[in-house]
Amino acid sequence: MQLIEFTDKGLFCRAGNFYIDPWKPVDYAIITHAHSDHAKWGSKNYLCHTLTKPLLQARLGDNNYETLEWNESKTINSVKVSLHPAGHIIGSSQIRVEYNNEVWVASGDYKVVNDGLSGAFEPVKCNAFITESTFGLPIYCWKDQEIIFENMRNWILANKAMNKASIIIAYSLGKAQRVLKALEDFDEPIYMHGATYNMHQALLNANVYLPNINAERVTPETPKEKLKECVVIAPPGAEGSSWLKKFNPYAIGVCSGWMQVRGNVRRKNVDGAFALSDHADWNGLLQAIKETQAEKVYVTHGYQSVFSRYLNEQGIWSAEVKTEYGTEDEEVVAETAEDKKEFIDGE
């Protein structure tokens, strides 16, 4: 019997009788991070990182939440569980599960580069590692975030020079905070779409460390004069919506790892494209896997078949696993129902 089984409800630890990131309601759910494809509504008990709890409260409402700090452990039915930074977004954690001297780690989503907000990814030694593979092709190789940030700032300045506002499309949880990081010492007024702003406030209320920026919410009452040449952070739902009209003339930029490929940039029909991702790139995935020293690697959402085949050829035992993660992933190009709701709620 595997310590973690892949069931139709999600990753299941039979010995501990709990699930990790289940996509159906269960009795006990351990949540890696607060993105909607990993944190689903309806479970009776939730265990997550301290910083994830307020985000889950904001998205799932009041529930029975328990929290752990990173590296703090808890025993559930004689299975030892601990959380370790995954570097993906604020509070994102890898779940380490130990039973009878066997260790499994479920990574959720992760990136190995420290973005200064989400905590530095910590490799955890284990026997079996469950990895994502969103960008599991060698064409994905991220630039240093400082270079991307610099490009973003130059883009904003170029827009200003043409009297245009700069609309930056970024998911409210994760990407939006990184954009703030890019604009930290940038002396320009920052505005936010309501959905972005609500998440921003939720983070501030939870005392999460954020770049020190006074962002203002765009409301129907905000005078058009004030919005001239401004910088706006908005969720993907804003793309192509009439909400953008009030910023005319404006340029629109998208932050996503998919922007690495020209075809995606063209299809997006945008003026700026920034390959800024919260997922590990090809080398990041390989590095993370190597550092776990895992004997078995299970590959989930993304390019699982390609990545798994490659690992096997490199002498690392690997199998692909079908999950429902990534179906509403923040970086999946198609817009999700969740985005739409969030967008409308924030308007």
Partner 1 sequence: MANDKHIFVDASTQENAKDGMALFSELVTFLGASTKTLEKQDALINYFSLADDKDKVWVIALFSGRRPRRLVNSSLLPQWCIEIRNIPGWLFSECYGSVGDMAETIALLLPEASEETKESSLSFYIEKLVSLDKQDESIKKEFITGCWHTMNKDERFVFNKLLTGNFRIGISQKQMVNALAKTVKLEPSVIAHRISGNWDPMTTLFNELLSEHATSIDFSKPYPFYLAYALEENPGTVGDANEWQAEWKWDGIRGEIIKRNNELFVWSRGEELVTDKYPEYAMLQQKLPEGIALDGEIISLTNANATTNEFTILPFALLQTRIGRKNVTSKQLKESPVGFIAYDLLEFEGEDFRNRTLEERRNVLEKIVVGVNEPALRLSPIINFNNWDELAAIRATSRDINAEGIMLKRKSSIYQVGRKVGDWWKWKIDPLTIDAVMIYAQKGSGRRSTLYTDYTFAVKDNDKLVPFTKAYSGLTDKEFAQVDNFVKRNSLEKFGPVRTVKPELVFEIAFEGIAASNRHKSGVALRFPRIKRWRKDKPADEINTLDDLKKMLAAYGK
CB of 147 to partner 1, least distance (A): 7
Cβ(197)–Cβ(164) below 8 Å: no
CB of 267 to partner 1, least distance (A): 4
Cβ(255)–Cβ(178) below 8 Å: yes
Q: In angstroms, what is the C-alpha Rg of the chain?
A: 20
In angstroms, the Cα distances linking 221 to 172, 216, 248 are: 22, 12, 16
Site residues for partner 1 per CB under 8 A: 137-139, 141, 143, 147-148, 151-152, 154-155, 158, 161-162, 253, 258-267, 269, 271-276, 303, 305-306, 309-310, 313, 333-334
Measured from the CB atom, is 14 or 309 closer to partner 1? 309
Cβ(115)–Cβ(139) below 8 Å: no
CB of 134 to partner 1, least distance (A): 12
CB of 140 to partner 1, least distance (A): 8
Strand-pair category, 79-85 with 73-76: antiparallel
CB of 93 to partner 1, least distance (A): 28
CB of 258 to partner 1, least distance (A): 7
Cβ(148)–Cβ(275) below 8 Å: yes
**What is the C-alpha separation between 227 and 309, in angstroms, rounded?**
51
Measured from the CB atom, is 197 or 250 closer to partner 1? 250
**What is the C-alpha separation between 162 and 141, in angstroms, rounded?**
32
Q: Could you please report the per-residue DSSP string of 184-243? A: TT--S-EEE-HHHHHHHHHHHHTT-------EEE--TTS-GGGGTT-EEEE-GGGTTSGG
Measured from the CB atom, is 120 or 147 closer to partner 1? 147
CB of 163 to partner 1, least distance (A): 12
Measured from the CB atom, is 191 or 303 closer to partner 1? 303
Cβ(87)–Cβ(23) below 8 Å: no
Q: 40: which 2 tokens?
A: 């689903």
Cβ(151)–Cβ(217) below 8 Å: no
Q: Does residue 52 come out as left (phi exceeding 0), alpha (psi in the -120 to 50 range) or beta?
A: alpha
CB of 277 to partner 1, least distance (A): 12
Q: What 3-state class would DSSP assign to 4?
A: coil
Q: 231-264: string of b/e by CB count within 10 Å (b at 16+)?
A: bbbbbbbbbeeebbeebeebbbbbbbbbbbeeeb
Measured from the CB atom, is 52 or 151 closer to partner 1? 151
Measured from the CB atom, is 154 or 293 closer to partner 1? 154
